[in-house]
Structure 1
Amino acid sequence: MMFKKLVSVEPLNLNLAAEKALHNFAEEVIMYDDIPSSTAEMADRIGDADAVLISYTSRLGKEALEGCPNVRYIGMCCSLYNPESANVDIAYAQTRGIEVSGIRDYGDEGVVEYVISELVRCLHGFGTINDGGPRAPWDGVPREITGIKAGIIGLGKSGGMVADALKFFGADIAYFSRTEKEEAHAKGYRFLPLKQLLEECEVIITCLNRNTVLLHQEEFESLGNRKIIFNTGLSPAWDEAPFSEWIDGNNRCYCDTLIALGDERFLSHPNVNCMEVSAGRTRQAFDRLSEKVLANLTNYIKTRSER
């Protein structure tokens, strides 16, 4: 069984071999190399397709899908952790009998390297600030990661990898997660309530699902001044108003992308460091992504053929 028409509604970050392999799954394959500007354009691109591929940049909601009656498969070429954080309206898709697949754990290695790289630059004073001037070491004197108190918020796959990397360099690791994790305890990582973690740790790394906000006014009050935050998610982990006040203090914030930072007005803030490039977009990540996207397509077709 093959799909009649497969449409990639936006760039997918697949490698060339995978893009060629997509033609083995459908009689007709259409791939767009730009991002749809509206819901109407999204629906128009899908049209009469029975299979749709989408990355993390756009949202595919009920409004667009209602005008596309033939869709029976949506392949998310990005992370899928739960329906609430997905950029596809999975609840509506289920009412239509549309299967939605996603992937996990393909770009975490680059994120870990980003955190370590930027933390070293911060502590040592490597690089420049936004106005081009030299960046002073965080403590005035170059400093190692050794002994620094680091708090991980969200100890999933990527959060765990960040914790392991920081531990390798000698950091004291604490974490907050929905549940305590035995494997983390075995490594010597301390589970702390969120406010206590914010109070005690000098460096905070948020590794949360999209649209998960845990840092509100009270949390920033617990965090206090002279702290460093890294956000590795696909949306801000904070409410904007208290973050705006906090970043005006003697603090630093690191985000690889604007979608992780939030409002673009923060890009020019002297205490904000945002590359506007996804740290997870590496050659190896594209290869892992490609393998998993093709595996999901293969599994769907195989399962349907056996029925």
Structure 2
Amino acid sequence: MTFEKIIIIDNCGLTQEIIEQISNLSRHKITIYNDYPADDAETLARIGDADCVLVSWQTKITAEIIAQTTSLKYIGMCCSLYDEASANVNIIAAREKGILVKGVKDYGDEGAVEFIFAQLIFLLKGLLKARWKDEPVELKNKSIGIIGLGTLGLMVAQTALHFGMNVSYFSRTRKYEEEKNGINYLSLDELMQSCDIVTTHLPKNTILLTEREFELKKTNSILVNTSLGVPFEKEAFLKWIANPKNFAIFDADGVGDFIKEFSGHDNIILSDQFGGFTFEAKQRLSEKVLANMKGFLEI
């Protein structure tokens, strides 16, 4: 079986080799867009009469768009699908119209973990313009608090343990098995008050850190955000980061619309690329997207 028409509606980051294999799954020549739709009208126009669409996390496919599609049967998300509420595709509207939506899990976790610790090491060793301490310091015996102990958060915890760090976490659900391995549970208040480094790994549109949490946060500490979006109140964060003894590290995923306001602070470290989207991650993503499409055709 094949699709009638496949549209890659934005820059999904797929490898050329996989795109060629995807072409073989379409009866008609596939259409590939390497930029992003300007608005919903352009997104709908790009979808047209396609029965298969591939989309990155940066383009929204809303309920209104889905309602106006005529032939769509499959939406392949070239990104992780954490939950229905935070997805850039309206999963409920798609389901009601009989359209299957498939995402990709865990393709960039290794790169994201390496990004976190690479940036931390550069900061702690005094290799950046901003300096956390007057002298280079070690990760060993520093306290790290992880907010969100999912797959990525757990990988960060395990890596931190290898560095000899004191590892704590906060999650809405306790991870009792992981606590047997030297990862300590703390309330959010306790974690913010006690940890030298706090990392966040939360779904998109999750606002967990408010002015109250930032007021509790240990002075001369580091916040690392690799959440898809910013899990805090902007004004509360800007007030906290105004203290030059506090530092923040952002993956490009976590900068969002705030980049102009963030870029004026020497103690905010901004990456101009997605920390988890390495060459290897791109390969894994592409292979999983292709496998999902083949799986749909075999149903």
Partner of 1:6: 6
Partner of 2:62: 61
Alignment check: 8 A CA contact 2:10 2:34 kept: yes
Residue by residue over 1:221-276, the C-alpha shift from the partner in whole angstroms, topping out at 9 and shown as x without a partner, is 12142110000011001011101101101210100216436412111212111022
Partner of 1:147: 141
SS at match of 1:17: helix
Find out whether 1:300 has 2:296 as its counterpart: yes
What are the equivalent positions in structure 2 for 1:248-259 lying under 5 Å apart? 248-249=242-243, 250-257=245-252, 259=254
SS at match of 1:103: coil
Partner of 1:218: 212
Partner of 1:132: none
Match of 1:168 among 129, 149, 162: 162
Q: Structure 1: which 5+ residue stretches go unaligned?
A: 129-134
Alignment check: 8 A CA contact 2:194 2:218 kept: no
Q: Structure 2: which 5+ residue stretches go unaligned?
A: none
- 1:297: Cα distance to partner? 0.6
Find out whether 1:270 has 2:271 as its counterpart: no
Alignment check: 8 A CA contact 2:227 2:253 kept: no
Q: Which moved more, 1:76-85 or 1:255-264?
A: 255-264
Percent identical among aligned pairs is 37
How many Å separate the matches in 2 of 1:224 and 1:120? 20
Residue by residue over 1:158-212, the C-alpha shift from the partner in whole angstroms, topping out at 9 and shown as x without a partner, is 1111111111111100001121113311211001111111111110000111111
Partner of 1:94: 95
SS at match of 2:78: strand
- 1:60: Cα distance to partner? 1.1
Question: Number of residue pairs matched?
Answer: 296
> What is the RMSD of the two structures over their aligned residues, measured on CA atoms?
1.3
**If the length of structure 1 is used for normalisation, what is the TM-score?**
0.93
How many Å separate the matches in 2 of 1:35 and 1:287? 21
Find out whether 1:22 has 2:17 as its counterpart: no
Distance 1:261 1:43, change over 3 A: closer
How many Å separate the matches in 2 of 1:15 and 1:53? 13
How many Å separate the matches in 2 of 1:105 and 1:242? 31
Partner of 1:284: 280
- 1:288: Cα distance to partner? 0.7
**If the length of structure 2 is used for normalisation, what is the TM-score?**
0.96
